[in-house]
Structure 1
Amino acid sequence: MAGSGQARTVAHPGTAGRLALLGHALLLSLASTVGAVLCCLWIAAVVLVPFGLGLPMTLLCAVAVRRFADRHRQWAARRLGAPIARPYLPTPPGNRLTQLQAVLRDPASWRDCAWLLVNSVSCWFTSGLSLILFLAGLFYSGYPLLVAVTPSEVFREPFGFFAVHGLGQALLVALAGPLLLAAWYLSGEWLAKLNAHVAHALLAPTDKAELLARVDELTDSRADVVDAGASELRRIERDLHDGAQARLVSLGMSLGLADRFADDPETVRRLLAEARASTADALAELRDLVRGIHPPVLADRGLDGAVQALALANPVPTEVAIRLPGRLPAPVESAAYFVIAEALANAIKHAGASRIRIGVEFAHPPVRTTGELMITVADDGHGGARIDDGGGLHGVARRLAAFDGILTLDSPDGGPTEVRMSLPCVWS
């Protein structure tokens, strides 16, 4: 992940990996032919649109092209080790004509068409070349056997290069087999990555598209932050009105009654005791309110101590592993504390877990101060967690989005559940 500062080890595939690449080369070579046919159908459908004949066909081809391109994005992402985002603009609601206009106006649709044409040629110089090297290597390696078991006139000129007379010359031809297999073995990974780079160049979003998507994302996150801030203000107002304010009103009434019954010491003592109790309750509620805004333990002991305190107060046995180089910025610490608290609350309420594990780590490059706070909350519960609108994890995702953070959920039915969160931040 960008900005994490973690070294990435590139593993060179062995023979099994090369054979898997060979299978992919065969599939990609065949798919390039299918892509060329699909591109021709797409162009023909678009040409027929003005005549009123190509509307359904164009929409159908658009869906097929995008699914075809998505599969290639996934394959290229695995080869390059980085995801390739879908570059398409949202399709507006409406009739087929409205949807067709949106598809035709989307630059990504025409870049897909260009990729189909380019891929139908370039794939044979990348994946296809790898497949040809392998098949030719097998052919030449077994050439003496073919000469021995077939009539003499069948394998006289291998691939039309030169005539072969006798088994001795066939053995000399067979030397080309290991050389071609070695070329395939050494170039297979490189050719596969070259094909992936070609796909990335045409199927990945352009800089302009990424900028527009980023603007939309920031607009949405800003709206979420504004909504969350307004909701938090309403919560504070409600807590003050229903809690501390009511206690203070009760305190004032008790003091007023004490003044009225000044001649009755017993009643005055009772009213003063009620006033002291109201004062204590008001202070406790104010303290809880302040703790909900910014916990004192977070200010005093930092994120490490605050998370340890959460784990100690948790009724489910909780293991904590924290590796931090020092204090992080206060807003980041506060956001991290509350997302961990919310993830813990979800695990306790819904997961039925017997053990919970919290991991917090700050990863950064050795020569830079920018990095990423990685948070993991895992439990051994029954799983099946979802990020639903209005749910606790949806609130966590919204809080993270305000900091350009990401939430990833892995919770298969039957468990276990792992919530992974990342927060870009600066080490102070």
Structure 2
Amino acid sequence: MKVGLVCPYSFDAPGGVQFHIRDLAERLIAHGHPASVLAPAEEGTEVPEYVESVGGAVPVRYNGSVARLAFGPVAAARTQRWLAAGDFDVLHIHEPFAPSVGLIALRLAEVPVVATFHSAQERSRAMQLAYPLVRPGLERISARIAVSEDARRTVVEHLGGDAVVIPNGVNTRTFAGAPREPAWQGTPEAPTIAFLGRLDESRKGLPVLLGAVEQIRKRHPGARFLVAGRGDLDGALAGLGEHAGAVEGLGGISDAEKAALLASVDVYVAPQTGGESFGIVLVEAMSAGTTVVASDLSAFRRVLDDGGSGFLFSTGDSESLADTVCRAIEDVTERDARRRYAASAVIRFDWDEVAARILDVYAMVQQSPEEPSAPSAGRRMLGRIFGRGDTP
């Protein structure tokens, strides 16, 4: 089975969606299914050999963040060539209604289309206004996947219909077997607490964590905070005073370094304040055997089985975060019980399980292919927006 995977977001600054698509492509190839990924990427960006670039992207504020998206006549022409050369059996488009290359591919598709929805959003006026525009695309999708119940709810509320929930995949054995880095390991007197995320995105919650530093260090004076991610950390530390020295910026780190960091620290903190549909880094930390402390967003609650696999604190509340981190450090019995629970719970997120379920969806749409709907005014409008005057 030849599979074409379409990523709306640029590989210049990869995030959870890009990593998911990359890992899925590699798992498909390993199982004998030729796969190719179409995505934005600036010239010179190092990408795997199975990734085809549509060219550079432009930053667009989307879903509470700034995403790098690609659209226009050049992207449309490259997408059309990729589809023709690929001769795919199934086209798998991620975030098909993001204003990017996925929407172009959806309009041009002539094979069964599987769509995966990653985002979780509250009821959106913008989505309501856009519905007439995206409705023709819905008719071309043979099967929908949502990565979480929160993402599924977004699909139901904004687009109608339903979606099967298949979570993001994690190479759990990679994290379980990751080597520990002595410089990142803590001691009973100086526990280490890690944060991973873009420092310039407020919804990732770094200010919430930094607001808890002083309170945590009152109970654990030797506590160290390891912050990994791109962005200006110095500015964020300005208000910490004497405690700023306890926060160490690691900058952007590689996949191998991330696995080692999660395997080494005593606590991983996920202080996100919203806009999360899943929480893949929670699964990675759980797989590495790390104690997880996370904000009580509904998506995080689901991943952590309402606290069975980790500790939850009140979203956006630095005092609650500090109390919870201290409890996780001090209550060894409870901490170890949750880590044991997490070690078994992560199995459902392993790529062996996730890829098998996605392949079942591919097989289903191939058995009952649906003919793409006829051109309509809505599809012609998509063509004008994304670089073609009409649909083929």
Band the TM-score falls in, shorter-chain normalisation: under 0.3
Greater relative contact order (Cα < 8 A, sep 6+): 2
Determine which structure has the larger strand proportion and give its number: 2
Which has the higher Rg, Structure 1 or Structure 2?
1
Which structure shows the bigger proportion of residues in helix conformation?
Answer: 1
